[in-house]
Amino acid sequence: QVQLVESGGGLVQAGDSLRLSCVASGRTFYPIGWFRQAPGKEREFVANIGWGGSSTDYADSVMGRFIISRDNTKNTVYLWMNSLKPEDTAIYSCAATDRTATRQADAYNYWGQGTQVTVSS
């Protein structure tokens, strides 16, 4: 089992940057995915990373702007968000799966509470 807590969201202007954090406790070697959900829209995949390796995957909409990384000494996965756009506005959640990391939200077993990102312009 793993417990996840997100932080780092806030209100920024278009073009700004934010770093989201996902701190894991318990078993910490699960693959981690970032997902987001905007008002009136379904949850969508953002990025994922394997705790046991450096493999990563990104949605086309964030490729080249967002970077997912991990710090094993802090049991933390980061989402570095650059060149933010108004369409990035959403609640961002991290999630852990006990299987191979995928882009499918229903494959993830454990979820954090989410952190709000709002991009104005």
Over residues 12-54, the pLDDT tens digits come to: 999 999 999 999 998 777 899 999 999 999 999 999 998 765 7
Contact 104, 14 (CB under 8 A): no
Residue pLDDT, tens place only, 58-69: 999 999 999 999
**Cα gap 96→12, rounded to integer Å:** 27
**Cα gap 33→98, rounded to integer Å:** 12
Is residue 114 scored above 90 in pLDDT?
Answer: yes
Strand 90-96 to 115-120 pairing: antiparallel
Helix (H, G, I), strand (E, B) or coil at 16: coil
User: What was the pLDDT predicted at 53?
Assistant: 59
What backbone phi and psi angles, to 5 degrees, belong to 104?
-95, 120
Tokens of 13: 């202007």
Length of the chain: 121
Residue pLDDT, tens place only, 92-108: 999 999 988 999 999 99
Q: Which residue has the tokens 């995957």?
A: 57
